[in-house]
Amino acid sequence: MTNFRIIPAATALALLLSTGAVSAEVVLNRGNDTDPATLDHHKTSTVAEGNVMRDLYDGLVIQDENAEVVAGAAESWEISDDGLTYTFHLREDGKWSNGDPVTAQDFLFTFRRIMTPETAAGYASMLYPINNAEAIAGGEMEPDQLGVEAVDDHTLVITLHTPTPYFLELLTHQTGLPMHQASVEEHGDAFTRPGNLVTNGAFMLESFTPNDRIVMRKNPHYYDADEVQIDVLNYIPFEDRANCMRRFEAGEVHICSDVAAEQMDYVNANLADQFRLSPYLGTYYLPVKGAADSPLKDPKVRQALSMLIDREFIAEQVWRDTMLPAYSLIPPGIANYVEDVPQLDYADTDILDREDAARALFEEAGVDPASLTIELGFNSSENNRNTMTALADQFSALGIRTTMNEMEGTGYFNYLREDGPFDIVRAGWIGDYNDPQNFLMLYETGVSFNYPRWSNEEFDQLMRDAASETDLDARAQILAQAEQIYLDEVPAIPIMYYSSRALVADSVQGWEDNLMDTHKTRYLSLPE
């Protein structure tokens, strides 16, 4: 069932008024893909949640308007010659939204908390380069043995177990954001509630009304508050992208984070000057699982299904040329990788020839494709629904039957991380940092984002080898070998590379297109 919200007239009127007609405050209304499932950033994982967290918190380092790493809560840092020790110097004027100073102890508390098994942080693996992190997350060591030390209130030292060339960029992710230790300890799981949540970013939480909006207000204690041009920030969830566009055209929303592909003809004709299309470091793919005795457990069956997918048609017709066909997990343009990138070996094969090859693979596997009924699961959006409809049609070329399972966006990825049963589902991964490891680590054994629960010891060993390799060229070759194993078994079928698609009102200044599609509101303004 489509998650289509009808906005009450009073709410719409309030949004119109909030733009400044009756108030001197500068109010920005941002459309977001969906509501966050939580405001505990140790338990977040989605882009929509990252957007919110980016405005509430500053990590040691942050991304600027061009997605480059710049100083955040730390004003400077040094890296040891061996690449293992990072010494961060926190700002003397850094403050939490309640006026408390931001200290190195807050970061120490935070890094230990995310590694504590009881926290159940699905993204803890992001910080495994820190010494002893993985052992602590696995319950083999105590949190106080983590390679993080608060030397004094303004000096934090992080020790890695192996050089990690992307570590600073990794710290810009929400897993690197701090927590206000006193309020977390006082309120427990309720620390995220409005009135309890203490943040150190440009904005602080005022209210959170699910399916309506998150209201943030400028943090007067923020070290750079004089440069923040937005007084009130409203994040409004729009799983129905067309609804966001209607509100955008009505002047009720300044930014839509995404655009329904089926609306692109209209957008090009009527909103072209406010539409922002840009390359985006991400891949849209299909995790394949099935029950224990399902034919989907056979790599030949998964490969045959992959061959049946006409990626060019989906990219051009369903997504209206706002996506690119994908034949690999790792997207183009990524740093620290090989020039001759691995890809599925039928990338340049005609779709009709691929159907014949798929039929032969099914025969080798001893599976009659006409005997298969596959459930296609996806989180609510027009784009995902239309993609799955196209897949169902393409699978039917060999008589495969399909059913659809559309799920609410808020709990969808939690369901996948928690090992919920499925046949084939839609998923996507946006790079948290510009390195191929961030995509390949998804399929290491035991990682919560390994939705199919695929396990391959040779793949895992190559990932371990890459983690200990300090020569970047040699490391790239090892990662390419790992990706080839993945492509040979396709536990998740890559079908498209992302582009970012946003509507940004002419009145919004400071929006810069970038590969990571990160846009902190502190860099935006609404000049009169």
Alpha-carbon span 201 to 134, nearest angstrom: 28
More confident residue, 24 or 526: 526
- Confidence at residue 21, expressed as pLDDT on a 0 to 100 scale: 42
Amino acid at 504: V
Give residue-wise pLDDT tens across range 388-430. Answer: 999 999 999 999 999 999 998 778 998 999 999 999 999 999 9
> Are the CB atoms for 336 and 475 separated by under 8 Å?
yes
User: What's the sign of the alpha-carbon dihedral 521, 439, 436, 72?
Assistant: positive
First-to-final CA distance of the chain:
42
- Confidence at residue 23, expressed as pLDDT on a 0 to 100 scale: 54
Alpha-carbon span 44 to 70, nearest angstrom: 23
- Confidence at residue 239, expressed as pLDDT on a 0 to 100 scale: 87
Confidence band (pLDDT; 50, 70, 90) for 433?
A: confident
Q: Which residue is it, tokens 């394949």?
A: 288
Give residue-wise pLDDT tens across range 317-358. Answer: 999 999 999 999 999 989 899 999 999 999 999 999 999 999
Those residues whose C-beta lies under 8 Å from the C-beta of residue 137, and which sit 6 or more positions away, are: 115, 117, 121, 124, 125, 128
Whole-number average pLDDT of the chain: 93
pLDDT for residue 381 is more than 80: yes
pLDDT for residue 211 is more than 60: yes
> Are the CB atoms for 232 and 352 separated by under 8 Å?
no
Closest CA to 163 of 222, 276, 73, 86: 86
pLDDT for residue 495 is more than 70: yes
> Are the CB atoms for 218 and 230 separated by under 8 Å?
yes
Task: Read off the pLDDT of each residue in 500-511 and give the average, rounded to a whole number.
Answer: 96
List C-alpha distances in Å: 125 to 120, 188, 192, 430: 11, 23, 23, 16
Task: Read off the pLDDT of each residue in 307-316 and give the average, rounded to a whole number.
Answer: 97
Alpha-carbon span 210 to 475, nearest angstrom: 44
- Confidence at residue 1, expressed as pLDDT on a 0 to 100 scale: 29
List C-alpha distances in Å: 203 to 114, 175, 218: 23, 18, 4
Task: List the alpha helices (DSSP H) in 34-146.
Answer: 47-56, 104-115, 133-137
- Of the CA atoms within 13 Å of residue 270, those in its CB half-sphere come to 9
Query: pTM score, two decimals?
Result: 0.79
pLDDT for residue 3 is more than 90: no
- Confidence at residue 5, expressed as pLDDT on a 0 to 100 scale: 33
- Confidence at residue 12, expressed as pLDDT on a 0 to 100 scale: 43
DSSP for 151-165, please give it: EETTEEEEEBSS--T
DSSP-assigned beta bridge partners for residue 198: none
Task: Read off the pLDDT of each residue in 247-252 and give the average, rounded to a whole number.
Answer: 97
Give residue-wise pLDDT tens across range 15-50. Answer: 444 444 445 899 999 999 999 999 999 999 888 999
List C-alpha distances in Å: 397 to 352, 354, 359, 370, 390: 10, 11, 10, 10, 11
Alpha-carbon span 35 to 251, nearest angstrom: 21
Confidence band (pLDDT; 50, 70, 90) for 78?
A: very high
Exposure of 69 by Cβ count < 10 A (0-12 exposed, 13-18 middle, 19+ buried)?
A: middle
Give residue-wise pLDDT tens across range 126-182. Answer: 899 999 999 999 999 999 999 999 999 999 999 999 889 889 999 999 999 999 999
pLDDT for residue 303 is more than 90: yes
- DSSP structural state of residue 92: T
Percent of the chain with pLDDT over 90: 86
Alpha-carbon span 301 to 362, nearest angstrom: 6
CA 338 centroid distance within chain = 24
